[in-house]
């Protein structure tokens, strides 16, 4: 049975990697799916995000990295997966995750949501936090895998160059 692990992954963090590794041990196939949402102001394109995820997960043979548009449940049906996994960091995640899981259940009763607790090492970690740290040149090693660290550093340079040019 396969499991779908969706998210924005802008960028992938060590918290995501830890959840994916554990899902890959528990399920024969893990579909990591990047949301391609034109309304969301992401730092990285879907292609860049998928590339970072692929490079960060080398060696995990049963993980497939994809992208989707539109409703998550429609994508799950399209690829024939009936289980969606989400990481839970702290109580603060619960409210929005609970609502999303219930809305998804209402729209697609055959699809279930599985919550996996994030390792306590990463309970505070988020993609927005690492972007802020990157913006001010802070240390990223313990927060993101090396491909994401490189991509963050070059994106910060790009943004700085863009700003000074404009």
**SS3 labels along 79-137:** HCCCEEEEEECCHHHHHHHHHHHHHHHHHCCCCEEEEEECCHHHCCCCHHHHHHHHHCC
Contacts of 48 (CB under 8 A, 6+ apart): 151
3-state secondary structure of 5: strand
Find the binder of ligand PNS among 3, 4, 5, 6 (CB under 6 A).
6
- Is 90 one of the binding residues for ligand PNS (CB under 6 A)? no
For residue 23, give the DSSP letter.
H
Cβ nearer to ligand PNS, comparing 74 with 160: 74
117 or 163, CB closer to ligand PNS? 117
Q: Which of 35, 46, 57, 134 binds ligand PNS (CB under 6 A)?
A: 35
Q: How far is the CB of 94 from ligand PNS (least distance, A)?
A: 13
Select from 45-53, 54-62, 97-105, 109-117 the region that touches ligand PNS (CB under 6 A): 97-105
The first and second tokens of residue 39, run together, are 């309304």
Record the tokens describing residue 51, joined without a space.
């590339």
Give me the residues that bind ligand PNS (CB under 6 A), please. 6-8, 35, 71-72, 100, 103-104
């Amino acid at each position: 049975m396969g499991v779908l692990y969706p998210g924005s992954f802008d960028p992938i963090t060590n918290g995501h990697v830890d959840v994916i590794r554990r899902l890959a041990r528990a399920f024969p196939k893990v579909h990591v799916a990047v949301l391609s949402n034109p309304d969301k102001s992401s730092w990285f394109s879907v292609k860049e995000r998928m590339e970072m995820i692929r490079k960060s997960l080398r060696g995990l043979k049963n993980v497939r990295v994809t992208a989707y548009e539109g409703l998550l449940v429609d994508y799950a049906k399209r690829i024939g997966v009936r289980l969606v996994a989400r990481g839970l960091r702290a109580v603060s995640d619960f409210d929005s995750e609970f609502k999303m899981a219930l809305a998804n259940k209402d729209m697609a009763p055959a699809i279930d949501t599985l919550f996996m607790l994030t390792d306590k090492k990463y309970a505070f970690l988020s993609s927005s936090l690492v972007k802020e740290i990157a913006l001010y040149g802070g240390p990223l090693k313990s927060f993101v895998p090396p491909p994401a660290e490189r991509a963050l550093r070059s994106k910060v340079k790009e943004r700085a160059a863009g700003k000074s040019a404009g």
